[in-house]
Amino acid sequence: MTGRELAWRVLAQELGASLEAEKGAGERAASYLISPLGARMNRVAMVGTVSAPEAPRTSVSGTFRRSRLTDPTGTVTLTAGSFQPRALDELEAISGPTRVLLVGKPTLYRGINGPPVPSVRAEAVHPVPDAEYRSLLAEAAVQTLERLRLVHHLRTPATGEGADLRAAGMSAHWIRGARATVQHYPATDAARFYDGLRAVLIALEGPEAPAAREQALAPGPGPSMESAVVRRTPVAPPVSHSAPPAALRSLEARLLEILDQLAEESNDGYADMDDLAERAARFGIDGDRMEEALNYLSENGTLEEPLVGKFRRAEGPPPD
């Protein structure tokens, strides 16, 4: 079973461009959103300005709220609902534009028509003071730049050997993410992402940013991998979940059967939350037990919720 994943520090532009997904190997493997800049994301940490949430949507399964987070590179949608009570309370407490640290699960909604749409299902929405906001934004930009250069390094002929990268201090976590990017995005227009990083630099230092700092954002391989690694925050190992009790496993199995039936009957391939709650009640599954099971199944990657209130089983692992 997959442990709790680390949150990748990403900017809105990168998340908005992340249109590919994959599932990890093993039982109860987590799902990942792959970015074009080397992030293989099960969880993300973002900073930006969050607007007051839209009017609540109330259903049989509870309340859902939607808002938007904006940073100098773009805007992403975030949601919180009954499965994330702390995040829901924190989002509802926001009455106007507020700088926050957002931690959550990136999701990808694939409708019948139109392109995939990334968003974040919030786990926490913490207001932050100006100094902390600037520090976190700068760190996200630095990590974005380093991952962009790592992907460039892997795409360069006669380079990209894992042993060489690890010897330079690059973690296996980052190397794996960069390789997933190379696989899913054969070509990436890096210039627009450098433009996004310049927008962050201007937001942090003003339009007259020092020339030396501007040079650091010049497209290309940039400084050596060794010099880049010095600034990167080390990656800590994930924390493992405890196994669910037998009663919860039985409930999960029944709930998955119901969810699969609803998804098959629906027009869009997803089980709607209201329909799921109604049908689960026929089998004696009350709302609290359903929420517990769905929360666990979503957390460990068995289910995907690419749009609030829409569920399906996560896709199987990609071919080797």
DSSP letters along 255-301, please? HHHHHHHHHHHSSSS-EEHHHHHHHHHHTT--HHHHHHHHHHHHHTT
Identify the band that residue 234 occupies on the pLDDT scale cut at 50, 70 and 90: very low
pLDDT at 27: 58
Count of H-run helices and E-run strands, the chain: 11, 13
Highest mean pLDDT among 117-131, 219-233, 301-315: 117-131
pLDDT in tens, 19-76: 998 876 665 567 899 999 999 998 999 999 999 998 877 766 677 889 999 999 999 9
For residues 291 and 82, is the Cβ–Cβ distance under 8 A? yes
Please report which helix (H) or strand (E) contains residue 41, including its range.
Answer: strand 40-41
Entry pTM: 0.67
Q: Which of 78-87, 246-255, 279-288 is least confident? A: 246-255
pLDDT at 315: 62
pLDDT at 233: 37
pLDDT in tens, 108-123: 887 677 788 899 999 8
pLDDT at 250: 76
pLDDT in tens, 149-167: 899 888 876 554 555 666 5
Q: Which of 123-132, 258-267, 272-281, 292-301 is least confident? A: 292-301
**Which residue do the tokens 């010099």 mark?**
227
Q: Is 131 exposed, middle or buried (0-12, 13-18, 19+ CB in 10 A)?
A: exposed
Gap between the Cα atoms of 315 and 137, Å rounded: 33
Q: Considering the chain, what is the average pLDDT of its residues?
A: 78
CATH of domain 7-128: 2.40.50.140
pLDDT at 168: 57
- Residue 298 backbone class (left: φ over 0; alpha: ψ -120 to 50; beta: rest): alpha
- The residue among 87 and 1 whose pLDDT is bigger is 87
Strands 7-9 and 43-50: parallel
Highest mean pLDDT among 76-90, 208-222, 241-255, 292-306: 76-90
10 Å Cβ neighbour count for 137?
23
- The domain locations on the chain are 7-128, 135-231, 246-311
pLDDT at 224: 37
